[in-house]
Structures are given as structure tokens and as C-alpha cells.
């Protein structure tokens, strides 16, 4: 199956959990890294509104487009308010994420069917056509007549007969030409072909072709349109991986060990695992497999003094404490005071006492802590977030080249500040959830040029390196940093660099 076919062979996503988001805000996480919507259904709102799945999806798409709201947060609110069944919540989730993910391809096909042009349409009409066209073009399990009929009914309800007639005409025309419109994009320019086929902006495709080549870029774009799988990190202080797999199987989930992350488990099937009793008991944490590697690469020892500069919501801080046997001190810092409580809650739930939360700007940490006072400093830096597009597809349409330049400048200041706090012989780990060279490899190269007392450290745990070697992520010339792309393991795109301060 070609990557193009694979990207289009879509099924309803069972639970679109949130991830690392589009990076972190200055000094901390702007978006949550866990939880989020999903096809939960069954939640009973106090005043349910009689909406269909498509109406919920349409309202969410309109709000995301008009206000710039994060799709996962907006959808979560909409699902809780609507009180849809589990199946309808799954459909609404699929329509929201799929429509945003495939927006450029949908608009490309619609443009030839809407006589007056898409830019002349009212925002809600445009979104209605997009989500209906998404069902026709990209989904195989929804009958075309169901998608068209409900679109017409929504148009009558929200607009007037003229609008519903136009919607009906456009979608009936698309239905008649469906075989042709589902065919490959005939563009000779690779940037345009990949950009339209997988719905990415040309500037981003061009940037990735320059960095990775055409074939790898196509694989990146195809993988970014797939549904993310759910994964858990077992709290190794409370539960063995075998026991966790047994519990999950007995609860009816299909669970398998992660091929990437030690103590990681991949889950199949619907549900919000943050609502399970085992989660409340602190037996595991919801976390992407790539994100789990960061603390593993840090490899902290019991008794160490550790600083997590941009810690919210606390996934990596709690992982560090688990690896240390809850012995030592992990200072989990974040710029947002309200996120301090979130980290505290995670630590309590997991039974961890080694974590001390703090609030402050990561760009000013050396003014709050003595220089060279930490054995390990982790800077999980704010970034463009292009490694988590499958979780937050709107990132494709809201970020710009100028944003990458701006965030790279912030990263340069933060890593220099973090480096001051590492003791001689200590470790500095830098990570991002993006695949941008400027924010990753180039950032580390510039840092090492300006800080001769630091060197890249290739001494990573073998449990981390082995799967990376087998997947071709690293080779015999490994220098102490790695770029995971989303197609390597079906996990988030992530960059991790380990640096050591000379004695």
C-alpha cells in the first residue's frame, strides 16, 4: 500500500487524545499533553442540547476557525455539553479532526464545484461543505446519501432554502464525480503534489523536502494524518509491566508492550484511560511513547538534584522521580502558576514525594537557583509542535516560518540559561516535540559552538538505543542526539539531545 493510499484509508478514530501540543508557551506548556476528548460519550450533561454528531462537529469547526481555539479543547467542551452517545461522539471526533487535517485537499476539490468561490461563503457554510466533503472524499464507512442529506437539513435549519439548495447541488455533484475526485493529485511539482494530497501548506512541505528529501517528507505528511494511538507509562514503583498488561486485558482492552519505550504500553480500543480506577490509583500515566524516552535518556540516579525547567503538566517530572526510586529532589518548574497544582496532583496520584513544584520564567532560572547546583537539568523546550500534528492538526494552518524563527530564538536563550545550572560533570537534556532542524540539530550545534564546556553525550541507555537502531533512527555514528519522525513508531515526532558538562 502506498503512503498515499494508507493516508486515505481512514477509520473512525476511537479516542483522539491530546499530546504535547504545539509546543510550549514561553517557558512552559501552552497546551495540555494528556487527556482531552475522544469518543467517550455516555457523559450526562446537566442540560443536554439536542444536537446531532454533525452539528456538534460543525459548531466546533466554526469556533476553531473563528477564534483560533485548540480543536481538542473546543471539541471536549462541545462533547460534554451535547451528551452524545459513544458512537456519535466518535463520529463527531472523526469529523472535526479529519476535516481540519484534510482541509487543503477538501478545498482543492470543492473549489471546482462552488461557482462563486469558497472565499465568498459564510464561515459556517464553508465549514459545513468541508465536513460533508470530508465524509465523501475520505471516509468509506458513511453512505454518501447520509452525509449529503444531513448537510442539507443542517443548511435548512441554520440558513434558508437558497443555501440548502446550493449545499445540495455542490454535494450531489461531488457524489456523482466521486471516483474522479478521489483519484491522485496530478501535480508535477512535488511540493504542490505532496501539499495538496496530504493537506499541508507548501512552505512546510518545501522546508521538509530540503531537510529530509521528497520520499521522507511524503511519509511524514502521510503519518501526520493518521489517528494517534493511546499509550500508557507504567509506574514502575507500583506495578510490573506484565501485571499491567494482565489488568488491561482483563478490563477488555487490547494492550501490548511498546516497541519503543521501556515500561510503555500501547492500547487499542475506545475510551478515556484517565477515567479508569487504575489511573486514579497511580498505576500509570497517559503519555506518548516518544515523550517517555526523554526521562529514560536523562537516566537520573537516586539522590540526584534535578530541575525540569518547563514541567507542566508534569509527565516528565513524574517519570524522572519514578526512575530515581522517588529518592532525591525533582524541582518541577513552570511559568504558569495554575499549572503548578496540576503537577502536584499528578505527583500525589502517583505516590511521589520527591517532586517539588515551583513557578517562574525559565529564562530567569539562574536568578533563582545557584549556578551549577543541579546534577541534571531537563529543558523540554517550547517549540513549533510539528511533531504532534496528528493530535493538533490546526497547527498546520496556524504556524508560519516567522513563528519557527521566533521560537528558535527563545530556545537559544532558554538553553543557555538552563546550562548555567548544570554542575561540572552533570547532564543537560534538551527536547522538543517538533521535527524542525532549526529548532533541533541546528540549535544544539549553535549551543555547543558557544559553550565549549559542554559536549554531546552518546551514553544513552541501551534499552533506548536498541529500538532506535533497529528502526534506523540512529546508526553507528550516533553523536548523542536523535530525531524521531512520526512514521518511525507511530508516535509523536520528537527530538532529544543529551549534553554533558565537562569536569
Q: Is 221 a catalytic residue?
A: no
Query: Could you tell me how many helices (H) and strands (E) the chain has, helices first?
Result: 22, 14
Q: Is 268 helix (H, G, I), strand (E, B) or coil?
A: strand
- With beta carbons less than 8 A apart as the criterion, state whether 260 and 489 touch: yes
Q: How far is CA 159 from its chain centroid?
A: 35
Question: Nearest 10 degrees: CA dihedral of 23, 24, 25, 31?
Answer: 90
Q: Which residues contact 76 (CB under 8 A, 6 or more apart)?
A: 36, 37
400 Ramachandran zone, left/alpha/beta (phi>0; psi -120 to 50):
beta
Model pTM score: 0.88
CA distance 303 to 251: 37
Is 426 annotated as belonging to a binding site? no
Residue 370's φ and ψ, nearest 5 degrees, are -60, 145
Chain length of the chain = 503
Is 311 annotated as belonging to a binding site? yes
Is 327 annotated as belonging to a binding site? no
Is 213 annotated as belonging to a binding site? no
**pLDDT value for 73:** 86
Q: Is 488 helix (H, G, I), strand (E, B) or coil?
A: helix
**pLDDT value for 440:** 98
CB atoms within 10 A of CB 240: 11
Q: How far is CA 342 from its chain centroid?
A: 19
Question: Nearest 10 degrees: CA dihedral of 31, 33, 39, 45?
Answer: -60
Catalytic residue (one of 221, 298, 309, 433): 433
Is 321 annotated as belonging to a binding site? no
User: Per-residue pLDDT for the chain (503 aa), expressed as one digit of tens each?
Assistant: 333 333 333 444 433 333 333 344 333 332 322 333 444 444 444 555 579 999 999 999 999 998 888 888 889 889 988 888 888 998 999 999 999 999 999 999 999 999 889 999 999 999 999 999 999 999 999 999 999 999 999 999 998 888 999 999 999 999 999 999 999 999 999 999 999 999 999 999 999 999 999 999 999 999 999 988 899 999 999 999 999 999 988 888 899 999 999 999 999 865 677 778 889 999 999 999 999 999 999 999 999 999 999 999 999 999 999 999 999 999 999 999 989 999 999 999 999 999 999 999 999 999 999 999 999 999 999 999 999 999 899 999 999 999 999 999 999 999 999 999 999 999 999 999 999 999 999 999 999 999 999 999 999 999 999 999 999 999 988 999 999 999 999 999 999 999 999 98
Q: How far is CA 185 from its chain centroid?
A: 27
Place of cell 440548502: 164
Q: At what angle do helices 86-101 and 103-111 cross, to 10 degrees?
A: 70
Is 313 annotated as belonging to a binding site? yes
CA distance 272 to 40: 6
CA distance 293 to 487: 16
What's the Rg (C-alpha) of the chain?
23
DSSP string for residues in 156-223:
HHHS-HHHHHHHHHHHHHHHHTHHHHTS----SSHHHHHHHHHT--HHHHHHHHHHH-HHHHHHHHHH
**pLDDT value for 497:** 98
E strand or H helix at 414, and its extent?
A: helix 401-419
Please give the grid coordinates belonging to residue 190. 512535488
Is 315 annotated as belonging to a binding site? yes
304: closest CA among 322, 323, 319, 324?
324
Is 399 annotated as belonging to a binding site? no
- With beta carbons less than 8 A apart as the criterion, state whether 296 and 255 touch: no
Amino acid at each position: 500500500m502506498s503512503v498515499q493510499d494508507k493516508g486515505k484509508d481512514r477509520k473512525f478514530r476511537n479516542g483522539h487524545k491530546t499530546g504535547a501540543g504545539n509546543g510550549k508557551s514561553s517557558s512552559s506548556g501552552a497546551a495540555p499533553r494528556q487527556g482531552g476528548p475522544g469518543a467517550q460519550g455516555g457523559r450526562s450533561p446537566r442540560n443536554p442540547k439536542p444536537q446531532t454528531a454533525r452539528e456538534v462537529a460543525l459548531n466546533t469547526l466554526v469556533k476553531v476557525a473563528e477564534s483560533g481555539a485548540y480543536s481538542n479543547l473546543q471539541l471536549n467542551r462541545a462533547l460534554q455539553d451535547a451528551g452524545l452517545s459513544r458512537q456519535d461522539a466518535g463520529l463527531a471526533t472523526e469529523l472535526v479532526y479529519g476535516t481540519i487535517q484534510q482541509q487543503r485537499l477538501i478545498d482543492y476539490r470543492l473549489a471546482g464545484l462552488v461557482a462563486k468561490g469558497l472565499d465568498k461563503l459564510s464561515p459556517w457554510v464553508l465549514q459545513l461543505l468541508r465536513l460533508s466533503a470530508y465524509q465523501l472524499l475520505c471516509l468509506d464507512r458513511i453512505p454518501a446519501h447520509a452525509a449529503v442529506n444531513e448537510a442539507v437539513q443542517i443548511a435548512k435549519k441554520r440558513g434558508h432554502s437558497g443555501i440548502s439548495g446550493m449545499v445540495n447541488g455542490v454535494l450531489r455533484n461531488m457524489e456523482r464525480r466521486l471516483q474522479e475526485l478521489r483519484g491522485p493529485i496530478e501535480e508535477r511539482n512535488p511540493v504542490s503534489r505532496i501539499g495538496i494530497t496530504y493537506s499541508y501548506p507548501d512552505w512546510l512541505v518545501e522546508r521538509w523536502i530540503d531537510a529530509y528529501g521528497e520520499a521522507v517528507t511524503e511519509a511524514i505528511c502521510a503519518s501526520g494524518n493518521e489517528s494517534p494511538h493511546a499509550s500508557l507509562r507504567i509506574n514502575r514503583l507500583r506495578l510490573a509491566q506484565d501485571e499491567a498488561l494482565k489488568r488491561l486485558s482483563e478490563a477488555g482492552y487490547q494492550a501490548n508492550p511498546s516497541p519503543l519505550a521501556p515500561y510503555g504500553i500501547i492500547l487499542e480500543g475506545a475510551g478515556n484511560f484517565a477515567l479508569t480506577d487504575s489511573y486514579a490509583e497511580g498505576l500509570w500515566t497517559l503519555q506518548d511513547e516518544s515523550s517517555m524516552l526523554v526521562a529514560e535518556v536523562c537516566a537520573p540516579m537516586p539522590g540526584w538534584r534535578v530541575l525540569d525547567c518547563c514541567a507542566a503538566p508534569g509527565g516528565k517530572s513524574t517519570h524522572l522521580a519514578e526512575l530515581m526510586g522517588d529518592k532525591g529532589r525533582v524541582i518541577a518548574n513552570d511559568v504558569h502558576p495554575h499549572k503548578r497544582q496540576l503537577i502536584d496532583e499528578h505527583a500525589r496520584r502517583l505516590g511521589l514525594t520527591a517532586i517539588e513544584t515551583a513557578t517562574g520564567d525559565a529564562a530567569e532560572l539562574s536568578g533563582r537557583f545557584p549556578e551549577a547546583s543541579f546534577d541534571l537539568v531537563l529543558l523540554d523546550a517550547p517549540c513549533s509542535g510539528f511533531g504532534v500534528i496528528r493530535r493538533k492538526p490546526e497547527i498546520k494552518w496556524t504556524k508560519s516560518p516567522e513563528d519557527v524563527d521566533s521560537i528558535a530564538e527563545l530556545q537559544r536563550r532558554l538553553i543557555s540559561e538552563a546550562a548555567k545550572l548544570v554542575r561540572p560533570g552533570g547532564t543537560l537534556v534538551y527536547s522538543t516535540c517538533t521535527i524542525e532542524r532549526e529548532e533541533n540539530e541546528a540549535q544544539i550545534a549553535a549551543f555547543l559552538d558557544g559553550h565549549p564546556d559542554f559536549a554531546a553525550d552518546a551514553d544513552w541507555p541501551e534499552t533506548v538505543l536498541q529500538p532506535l537502531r533497529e528502526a534506523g533512527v540512529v546508526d553507528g555514528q550516533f553523536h548523542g542526539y536523535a530525531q524521531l519522525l512520526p512514521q518511525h513508531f507511530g508516535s509523536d515526532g520528537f527530538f532529544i539531545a543529551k549534553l554533558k558538562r565537562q569536569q
